[in-house]
């Protein structure tokens, strides 16, 4: 991935989508948007590998799934590389709204539902705001075990039909939180965010 970005090929790989879709999103999305992708993939690699970190690793339960299941790990890495497309939508000829993320997976990467790429990765992104909202509420007033269980069983967080598992959903949400703190070029974390990073990982 780093070589693709160094050669300026990120958009050539990830942005080959129909013009009718491309015309509905900001042009800046198809300029140099690879820095967040590199940062997200670097953070995930640091967490999932045996490489040294200047920070405590996430709880082992969050890493167990990607260590045991190579398909879950592959989905998480691809989702990290697709982070720049998060939140963008387009309207088709029937006036239906779709995510640009799904279009990139289907049209640019030519991937379908096999291994839950097309149906599983958008769900990973859908689970991020749900988890973050739940954690904000939990910080204000701790949830009961039953309430936490309901949150983790949300269909966008844990669903065997899309290959979603609560541990990978939480891990991906953590990665997206840490992207602004990462120095993608240097491969480390920006020192001014050290306190915030520690709080995120410990929580």
Q: pLDDT, tens digit, for every residue of 103-116?
A: 999 999 999 999 99
Which position has the higher pLDDT, 39 or 201?
39
| 68 pLDDT higher than 80 | yes
Tokens of 38: 């590199």
Backbone angles phi and psi of 198, in degrees to 5: -60, -40
**Any idea what the Cα angle at residue 122 is, between residues 120 and 127, rounded to 5°?**
95
Query: Does the model's pTM come out above 0.95?
Result: no
Range of the domain at 61: 2-202
Which position has the higher pLDDT, 81 or 5?
81
Q: What percent of the chain has pLDDT over 70?
A: 82
Distance CA 34, CA 39 (A): 9
The domain tally of the chain equals: 1
Residues 35-57: pLDDT tens digits? 888 888 888 888 887 555 555 67
Backbone angles phi and psi of 155, in degrees to 5: -65, -20
CA separation (Å) from 54 to 2, 42, 59, 181, 191?
A: 21, 14, 15, 13, 10
Which position has the higher pLDDT, 184 or 27?
27
Residues 144-155: pLDDT tens digits? 999 999 999 999
Which residues lie across from 90 on neighbouring strands? 98
Distance CA 92, CA 103 (A): 11
| 179 pLDDT higher than 90 | no
């Amino acid at each position: 991935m780093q070589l693709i970005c160094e050669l300026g090929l990120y958009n050539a790989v990830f942005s080959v989508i129909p013009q009718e879709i491309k015309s509905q999103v900001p042009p800046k999305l198809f300029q140099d948007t690879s820095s967040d992708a590199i940062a997200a993939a670097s953070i995930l690699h640091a967490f999932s590998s045996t490489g040294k970190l200047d920070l405590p690793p996430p709880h082992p339960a969050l890493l167990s799934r990607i260590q045991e299941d190579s398909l879950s790990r592959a989905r998480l890495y691809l989702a990290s590389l697709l982070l720049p497309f998060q939140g963008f939508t387009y309207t088709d000829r029937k006036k239906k709204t779709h995510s640009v993320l799904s279009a990139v997976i289907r049209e640019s990467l030519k991937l379908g539902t096999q291994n839950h790429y097309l149906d599983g990765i958008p769900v990973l992104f859908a689970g991020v705001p749900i988890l973050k909202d739940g954690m904000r509420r939990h910080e204000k007033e701790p949830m009961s075990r039953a309430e936490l269980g309901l949150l983790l069983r949300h269909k966008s967080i844990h669903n065997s039909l899309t290959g979603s598992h609560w541990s990978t959903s939480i891990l991906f949400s953590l990665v997206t939180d840490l992207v602004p703190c990462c120095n993608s070029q240097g491969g480390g974390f920006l020192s001014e965010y050290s306190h915030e990073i520690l709080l995120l990982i410990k929580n």
